[in-house]
Chains A and B, each alone.
Chain A
Amino acid sequence: MATEVLMPALSPTMEEGTLAKWLVKEGDTVASGDIIAEIETDKATMEFEAVDEGVIGKILIEAGTDGVKVNTPIAILVAEGEEVPEEGAKTETAPAPAALNGEEGKTAAPASAAPAPEAPKPDTSPDWPEGTEMKSQTVREALRDAMAEEMRSTDEVFVMGEEVAEYQGAYKITQGLLDEFGARRVIDTPITEHGFAGIGVGAAFGGLRPIVEFMTFNFAMQAIDHIINSAAKTLYMSGGQMGCPIVFRGPNGAAARVGAQHSQCYAAWYSQIPGLKVVMPYSAADAKGLLKTAIRDPNPVIFLENEILYGRSFEVPDLEDFTVPFGKAKIWREGKDVTIVSFGIGMTYALEAAEKLAEDGIEAEVIDLRTIRPMDTDAILASVMKTNRLVTVEEGFPQGSVGNYITSVVMEQAFDYLDAPVINLAGKDVPMPYAANLEKLALVTTDEVVEAVRKVTYR
């Protein structure tokens, strides 16, 4: 059977090309792999190999022809001794290529621009039953307890990172874990973030549940390729076959006087990535309940802690197995005049500001997102539909901030409810300075929150 040799596509974007040169003539015998022609694309001259064996029966397109469309027959290959079929006679041809990028392939993202007719009903159930015994704990202790409890319940959970074992943690979050669980499960790594993040992801592919501690998230920049390209995308790229249950945790954001390279908030960075979950607790109870949820989650979780909060004490429910679900914000303070949305250490300023504002009779509703992705936008929308005013507070840089995203959600879904422009408070648009006075200026402050609320409430 004669076979048509078609003009090949030789690059991801090629639609037509020049048949520069034939390296065979009619009557030549070719084997698969032989170079039979040279084809010029817009980028390069490429050699074109025969795929089938046979005899060149007829050359259909002359050397030097420009603008030959991909898939045009350029020659006819026949078997030894076979005649070239008549024009129009049946030859074995390749099927037409599938239409690429067809219109029907396009679907709109499921975001609706129409105002929500009704306020959504967020989940406002309490995190623990009424009457639960409480105990005072630091965020540090709460995090350690969460890891220890999950490690007791599942052998698959282990911790790895720099100084997590013998040194007991650079910030003492893993204190006591080596003693209890041994060196098999509490593993000191060399200073090699890219490498051990990759090993952690591989171990998760292999069926374990690693907790990878970064001494601080600034150093996770070395490992960001594995966090995003290896951990977050594999479930999708494998068509659902293979996920990555891993927690990347450590302190994030500004500490104090450590300068530009050690003071940066990554909440907005990671929250951009589909496939990641991003958690940033404020209180000790949330730190504990969310870290336990993170360790059990079958997806990669970025767990952003804060050095300044580590030593702060909060009431933590004294329950056998206390967890906090992802995607559920917490309303710390109810109010009718303005909504303040924050998370992590930003909550410190939001709550202090609300206190001050209350003295002047302005009642702020303060929402702690707790998880940035998935985000409890229902809680934000329901509150804004009540207060009609919104201020967001975070420590990260202003451009492309979490607040910017919240603003777009509110614009799209509650525009008609807004009585004032939304204000996004963030860190200043500068690398963190070292000088004490400048550092103070670079960070968001309680006074700025108060001022922003006055602006949006016109009081």
Chain B
Amino acid sequence: MAARKSTAKSNVSAEELLSYYRDMLLIRRFEEKAGQLYGMGLIGGFCHLYIGQEAVVVGLEATAKEGDKRITSYRDHGHMLACGMDPKGVMAELTGREGGYSKGKGGSMHMFSKEKHFYGGHGIVGAQVPLGAGLAFSDKYKGNDNVTFTYFGDGAANQGQVYETYNMAMLWDLPVIFVIENNKYAMGTSVQRATKSPSLWERGAAYGIKGEEVDGMDVLAVKAAGEKAVAHCRAGKGPYILEVMTYRYRGHSMSDPAKYRTRDEVQKMRSERDAIENVRELLLQGKHASEDKLKEIDRDIKAIVNEAAEFSKESPEPALEELWTDIYA
């Protein structure tokens, strides 16, 4: 199959553009704060930050409607914020407190919100892929036109269960969008060291699944590709694959010294391709927003994040009886 890369961009209003800026910035500031709380020992264990990848989830959420579902890996904070979950509840889960989405029993990697149709937060690389197809199966079975966004990494894309799922998703025309967040690394292994496939989305062709590569540092390009995928799924045409090219600025998790790439590589991405900076420039150049307006947004977001951090420190640890609850329904 010929290489295909979408260059389409969504036409959006200034208001929409401003909202993407806001949503991306919220994720960035939230994650920076999470990193800070980790450094202070308030967050423990594994903590995988989404800094750098914000445009992926914000662009795709812009195409979702009520009832659409989403599921992802452990690198899940951004997805939760983007689908409207409360930053306080997310941060308090990171600190393992009663006010967290899972009452402190799930942690960074395992959070859920039935209300927002967010189905986790999964710690086993690749496991969310058939789970996401199963969610899509439930919508098709019920006869509605909802779709499921199933996010996974470039590393996860090498798991066997992904291909078992592609096969069944296509066989049964499941309304699932497979979103490969290709951030170039799976922990310390670059994509090139894990596969000789020139592209990951093209593997869907073996199962008859359409797909495309998308510039994940451009929120408008992501949105445009998302719209196409969503329309395809809603029309009952089966699954769709988006390989979204993105980059994580931080280490794999908080304890990763990231020696497998150069500082220059990271710096280049940050200074030349940063998704938030790009939108900021678009807003200013097009005179869609003033410096002051953007400063105001920055301040609002800082306040939201600080409030979330305060809440996550003040919320008590779960009651000891919680050890024994929620094992069986």
Interface: A399 (CB within 8 A) = no
Given contacts A192-B167, A203-B134, contact A235 B329 (CB under 8 A): yes
Contact A51 B130 (CB under 8 A): no
A198/B161 in contact, CB under 8 A:
yes
Task: With CB as the reference atom, state the residue of chain A lying closest to B110.
Answer: A237
Which residue of B is nearest A197, CB measured?
Answer: B130
CA gap between A177 and B169 in the complex, in Å: 23
Cβ–Cβ contact B32 & A51, under 8 A: yes
Asked whether A10 lies within 8 Å of B255 as measured between CB atoms, the reply is yes
Q: Which residues of A lie under 8 Å from residue B131 when comparing CB positions? A: 198-199, 201-202, 205, 226, 230
Tell me the smallest distance from the CB of A127 to a CB of chain B, in Å.
22
Which residues of chain A are near B249, meaning CB under 8 Å? 33
With A205-B135, A206-B137, A242-B119 in contact, is A298–B329 under 8 Å at CB?
yes
Shortest Cβ distance from A245 into B: residue: B329
Please report which residues of chain A, range 2-50, place their CB below 8 angstroms from some CB of chain B when the two chains form the complex.
Answer: 6, 8-12, 14, 32-33, 35, 41, 43-47, 49
A303 CA to B175 CA, complexed, in Å: 30
Contacts of B259 in A (CB 8 A): 44
Could you tell me if B327 and A275 are in contact, using CB atoms closer than 8 angstroms? Answer: yes
Assuming the contacts A205-B131, A234-B120, A240-B325, asked whether A199 and B137 have C-beta atoms less than 8 A apart, the reply is yes
- Shortest Cβ gap from B99 to chain A (Å): 11
Among A41, A44, A241, contact of B102 (Cβ-Cβ < 8 Å): A241
Stretch touching chain B among A93-101, A143-151, A353-361: A93-101
| A33 contact set on B, CB distance < 8 A | 32, 249, 270
Q: Do the beta carbons of A237 and B112 come within 8 Å of each other? A: yes
Interface of A is mostly: loop
> Which residues between 87 and 128 of chain A lie within 8 Å of chain B, taking CB atoms?
94-95, 97-98, 100, 104-105, 107, 110
Pick from A9, A274, A275: contact of B38, CB under 8 Å: A9
- The interface residues of chain B lying within 8 Å CB-to-CB of A32 are 32
Q: Mark B127-150, 1 if CB is under 8 A from A, else 0.
A: 101111111111101100000000
Whether, in the assembled complex, A239 has its beta carbon less than 8 Å from a beta carbon of chain B, the answer is yes
Q: Which residues of A contact B132 (CB under 8 A)?
A: 202
The answer to whether A70 touches B168, judged by C-beta atoms less than 8 angstroms apart, is no
Contact A71 B254 (CB under 8 A): no
A107 touches B323 (CB 8 A): yes
A225 near B41: Cβ-Cβ < 8 Å: no
B201 at the interface (CB under 8 A from A): no
Q: A46 vs B259: C-alpha distance in the bound complex, in angstroms?
A: 9
**Separation of A43 and B254 alpha carbons in the complex (Å):** 13
- Interface check A344, CB cutoff 8 A: no
A282 within 8 A of B: no
A207: interface (CB < 8 Å): yes
Question: Which of B42-50, B75-83, B190-198, B211-219 lies at the interface?
Answer: B42-50
Cβ contact of B133, chosen from A6, A51, A71, A198, cutoff 8 A: A198
A194 in contact with B161 (CB, 8 Å) = yes
CB of A161 closer than 8 Å to a CB of B: no
> B290 an interface residue at 8 Å Cβ cutoff?
no
Q: Are A198 and B112 in contact (CB under 8 A)?
A: no
Complex Cα–Cα for A203 and B141 (A): 9
- Of residues 90 to 141 in B, which have CB atoms within 8 Å of A's CB atoms? 95, 100-106, 110-114, 119-124, 127, 129-139, 141
| Interface contact B326-A226, CB-CB below 8 Å | no
CA distance A237 to B76 in the complex (A): 14
Q: Is A204 an interface residue (CB 8 A)?
A: yes
- Is A71 a contact of B46 with CB atoms below 8 Å? no
Indicate if the CB atoms of B254 and A11 lie closer than 8 Å: yes
Contact at A192–B38, with CB atoms within 8 Å? no
A434 at the interface (CB under 8 A from B): no
Which B-chain residue is minimally distant from A188 (CB atoms)?
B171
Contact of B258 among A9, A47, A105, A235 (CB under 8 A): A47
Task: Please name the residue on chain B nearest to A228 by beta carbon.
Answer: B124
Q: Which of B95, B101, B135, B160 contacts A206 (CB 8 A)?
A: B135
CB distance from A33 to the nearest CB of B (A): 7
- Interface size of B in residues (CB-CB distance below 8 Å): 75
Are A35's CB and B120's CB within 8 A?
no
Distance from A131 Cβ to chain B, minimum over Cβ atoms (Å): 35
Interface size on A, residues (CB 8 A): 70
Q: Which residues of chain B come closer than 8 Å to A230, judged between CB atoms?
A: 122, 124, 127, 131
Does B165 belong to the interface (CB within 8 Å)? yes
Given the complex, which residues of B lie within 8 Å of A245, measured CB to CB? 329
Are B112 and A97 in contact, CB atoms less than 8 angstroms apart? no
Residue in B168, B255, B326 whose beta carbon sits within 8 Å of that of A192 in the complex? B168
Given contacts A51-B35, A298-B329, contact A12 B138 (CB under 8 A): no
- Residue on B nearest A12 in the bound complex, by CB: B45
Flag whether A200 is at the interface (Cβ < 8 A).
yes
Interface residue ranges of A242-263 to B (CB < 8 Å): 242-243, 245
Residue contact A51 to B36, C-beta cutoff 8 Å: yes
Which residue in chain A gives the minimum CB-CB distance to B176?
Answer: A202
Whether B127 and A226, one on each chain, are in contact in the complex, defined by CB atoms closer than 8 angstroms, is: yes
Instruction: Evaluate contact between A208 and B141: CB separation under 8 angstroms.
Output: yes
Give Cα distance in the complex from A43 to B141, angstroms: 50
Q: Does A238 contact B110, Cβ atoms closer than 8 Å?
A: yes
A299 on interface, CB distance cutoff 8 Å? yes
In the complex with contacts A235-B327, A236-B326, A242-B114, A198-B120 CB distance below 8 A:
no
Q: Nearest-CB distance from B159 to chain A (Å)?
A: 9
Query: Given A107-B320, A238-B106, A243-B329: A206 and B130 within 8 A (CB)?
Result: no
Least CB distance from B309 to A in Å reads 10
Contact A205 B255, CB 8 Å, known A196-B168, A235-B326, A238-B102: no
> A190: CB under 8 A from chain B?
yes
Q: A206 contacts B329, CB within 8 Å?
A: no
Give B259-298 as 1s and 0s: 1 = Cβ < 8 Å from A's Cβ atoms: 1000100000010000000000000000000000000000
Partner of B113, one of A35, A44, A200, A241: A241
- Complex CA–CA separation, A241 to B325 (angstroms): 12
- Per the bound structure, the CA–CA distance linking A194 and B159 in Å amounts to 11
Residues of chain B lying within 8 A (CB to CB) of residue A196: 130, 164, 168
Q: Which chain B positions have C-beta within 8 A of A229?
A: 123-124, 127
Q: A9-B38, A229-B123 are in contact. List 4 more A-B contacts (CB 8 A).
A: A8-B40, A11-B255, A238-B110, A299-B328
Query: Could you jot down 29 A-B contacts, CB within 8 Å?
Result: A8-B38, A8-B39, A9-B38, A9-B39, A10-B255, A46-B255, A46-B257, A47-B263, A51-B32, A94-B40, A97-B42, A192-B164, A194-B164, A195-B130, A196-B164, A196-B168, A198-B134, A201-B134, A206-B134, A206-B138, A207-B142, A226-B127, A235-B328, A235-B329, A239-B104, A241-B102, A245-B329, A277-B328, A299-B329
Q: What are the 10 closest A-B residue pairs judged by CB atoms, nearest first?
A: A202-B134, A198-B130, A206-B138, A195-B164, A8-B39, A97-B41, A11-B255, A239-B103, A239-B102, A298-B329
